[in-house]
Amino acid sequence: MKDLIKNKKIVIIDVETSGLYCGENGKKPARILRVDATKIENGKIGESFSSLVACGKYINKNVRDLTGISNKTLKGAPRIKAVLKKLKEFTFGYEVYARNSEFINKFLSYYGNKNDVQIDLAKADDYDEISKFLRYDEGVKEHLQKAIEPDPLVLAKALANFSKF
C-alpha cells in the first residue's frame, strides 16, 4: 500500500457541481462550480489549486445550501475552459486521483471534450484502496479522527501522515 504514495507525485482532485447528471440518460448536464486539487509528492503535501467556475445558470437553493456556492459567489469567476487548462497545467507530470472518481471523471470528460482539454484520472481502484487503507488500517487509523471527506486537502493531510509510518 505504501507504494501507492511513496516516491510518487500524485494530485487529489475534487469538484463541486450544480447536480448529479452530466448528460447521461438524456438529462441536461449539471455545471462544474468549483475545482480543487492538492499535490502530494513523496508523501508530503505540496501546492493546492482551487478555482470557482462561471456557471452561467441560476444556482438553486438546494445546491447553494449543499455547496455554499451561489451566483453571487461565482461573479467574476473564470469560464470552465480556462479552469480546465489551469488544472491540466497544475496536474502535469502527476498521477491524478479523485474520491468518487466515476462521478468526477464524467464531468471532467464531458467538459473536457467540449473544451478540448483532457485530464485523465489514474486508476480509480488505487484511490479507493488508499482511502480504505487510511480508514481501516490500525496503524494509520489512530491518526485519523474522521473518515476521509470529499475535501482533497483532508486526504492530502492524511496521506502526508501516512508517509510517517
CATH code: domain of residue 92 = 3.30.420.10
Question: Is the confidence at residue 154, as pLDDT, over 70?
Answer: no
Mean pLDDT across the chain, nearest whole number? 75
Question: Is the confidence at residue 72, as pLDDT, over 70?
Answer: yes
Question: Is the confidence at residue 68, as pLDDT, over 90?
Answer: no
Binning pLDDT at 50, 70 and 90, where does residue 77 land?
A: very high
Binning pLDDT at 50, 70 and 90, where does residue 158 land?
A: low
Per the model's pLDDT, the better-predicted residue between 132 and 79 turns out to be 79
Full domain range(s) for residue 85 = 2-162
C-alpha distance from residue 114 to each of 12, 88, 108, 129, 138 (Å): 23, 15, 10, 31, 44
Per-residue pLDDT, averaged over 14-37, amounts to 86
pLDDT 10s digits, 78-128 = 999 999 999 999 999 988 887 777 888 889 989 998 899 988 776 555 555
In 3-state terms, what secondary structure has residue 154?
helix
Look up cell 488505487; give the residue.
126
Domains: count for the chain: 1
Look up cell 484502496; give the residue.
129
Per-residue pLDDT, averaged over 129-153, amounts to 45
pTM comes to: 0.73
Binning pLDDT at 50, 70 and 90, where does residue 155 land?
A: low
- Answer whether 96's CB lies under 8 Å from 127's CB: no
